[in-house]
């Protein structure tokens, strides 16, 4: 049994909140640059040039990439041989978010109540997801999620009779409905299977996966490529002004489901697909 002080979790979450908001992952930068090279429209090229300049300034000056510094989504993969000591784990995560958003001068975007509103003032609480895994390590991922894109996400509870074509049509429908609203080029996370809530979580996790990776199942790896091509054929383009680049990535995650269902969730993210990970 390995003991870990929850204060260590606080320190890491604080650091990751700032880093994720200031520095795009290299795979995302590479995908944007690759799409820029393939564009031939002057408006599309100009917008992608501005996007590249923006994340380079954020890198060099250590400032947020976007004014919407997101709701802090925190994923903990906790080894089953770990015992946390020194306080409450959830509060330790929230304290890390609180400090990170204060020290990093990041916008506070969380309200106390979904209907009555009222800003919490410190960007807490985090959206905390925990998973127990073998071992004695803790993997911490912070993915700040902006809501211009989150608001464009959808879930549908298909019957199995809808088949693969139903899923394909749904993905395209969600992207086309989103249009320019999520600040394309976007990243599309797709979750298929599980229950209503698990499908949505799979879609969220799909956004955390590197864009230069593929689903390990060749069937879904091929589906990712096919759907990314079809999304880009929609012609929405950078910031909705038309072009070849509507999405820079499309990742699919799946899990078993009930014989009577085929849940499918599509979680949309903007080109600022931010996430940072550290293993303790």
**Contact status, residue 135 vs residue 80, Cβ threshold 8 Å:** yes
Q: 24: number of CA atoms within 13 Å, CB side?
A: 23
From CA 7, how far away is CA 87, in angstroms rounded? 8
107, burial (CB in 10 Å: exposed 0-12, middle 13-18, buried 19+): middle
CA nearest to 260, candidates 162, 170, 174, 169: 162
CA nearest to 209, candidates 195, 194, 220: 220
What's the chain's Rg over C-alpha atoms? 19
Q: What value does the mean pLDDT of the chain take? A: 97
What pLDDT, in 10s, does the model give residues 6-39?
999 999 999 999 999 999 999 999 999 999 999 9
From CA 208, how far away is CA 217, in angstroms rounded? 18
pLDDT score for 158: 98
From CA 180, how far away is CA 149, in angstroms rounded? 10
Share of the chain above pLDDT 90, in %: 100
Mean pLDDT score, 67-74:
97
Mean pLDDT score, 163-177:
98
From CA 118, how far away is CA 20, in angstroms rounded? 26
From CA 145, how far away is CA 12, in angstroms rounded? 18
pTM of the model: 0.95
For the four alpha carbons of 201, 205, 211 and 216, in that order, the dihedral sign comes to: negative
Confidence band for 220, pLDDT divided at 50, 70 and 90: very high
pLDDT score for 246: 97
The Cα angle at residue 261 between residues 217 and 143, in degrees rounded to 5: 55
The Cα angle at residue 107 between residues 104 and 108, in degrees rounded to 5: 110
From CA 116, how far away is CA 118, in angstroms rounded? 7
Confidence band for 138, pLDDT divided at 50, 70 and 90: very high
**Contact status, residue 146 vs residue 70, Cβ threshold 8 Å:** yes
**Contact status, residue 159 vs residue 126, Cβ threshold 8 Å:** no
pLDDT score for 243: 95
From the CB of residue 177, how many other CB atoms can be counted at a distance below 10 Å?
Answer: 12
Q: In sequence order, what are the residues at sequence separation of 6 or more whose Cβ sits closer than 8 angstroms to the Cβ of residue 60?
A: none
Helix (H, G, I), strand (E, B) or coil at 41: coil
């Amino acid at each position: 049994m390995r003991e870990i002080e929850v204060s260590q979790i606080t320190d890491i979450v604080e650091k990751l909140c700032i880093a994720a908001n200031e520095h795009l992952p290299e795979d995302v930068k590479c995908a944007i640059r690759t799409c820029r090279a393939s564009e031939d429209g002057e408006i599309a090229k100009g917008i992608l040039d501005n996007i590249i300049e923006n994340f380079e300034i954020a890198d060099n000056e250590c400032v947020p990439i976007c004014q919407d510094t997101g709701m802090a989504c925190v994923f903990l993969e906790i080894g089953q041989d770990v015992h946390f000591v020194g306080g409450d784990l959830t509060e330790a995560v929230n304290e890390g978010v609180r400090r990170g958003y204060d020290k990093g001068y990041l916008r506070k975007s969380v309200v106390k109540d979904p209907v009555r509103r009222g800003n919490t003032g410190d960007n807490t609480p985090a959206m905390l997801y925990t998973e127990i895994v073998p071992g004695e390590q803790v993997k911490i991922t912070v993915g700040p999620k902006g809501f211009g894109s989150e608001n464009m996400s959808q879930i549908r509870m298909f019957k199995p009779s809808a088949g693969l074509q139903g899923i394909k049509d749904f993905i395209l429908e969600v992207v086309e409905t989103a249009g320019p609203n999520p600040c394309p080029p976007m990243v599309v996370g797709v979750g298929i299977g599980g229950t209503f809530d698990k499908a949505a979580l799979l879609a969220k996790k799909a956004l955390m996966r590197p864009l230069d990776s593929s689903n390990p199942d060749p069937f879904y790896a091929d589906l990712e490529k096919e759907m990314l091509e079809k999304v880009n054929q929609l012609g929405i383009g950078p910031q909705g002004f038309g072009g070849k680049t509507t999405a820079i990535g499309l990742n699919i995650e799946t899990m078993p489901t009930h014989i009577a269902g085929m849940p499918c969730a599509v979680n949309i993210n903007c080109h600022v697909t931010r996430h940072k990970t550290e293993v303790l």
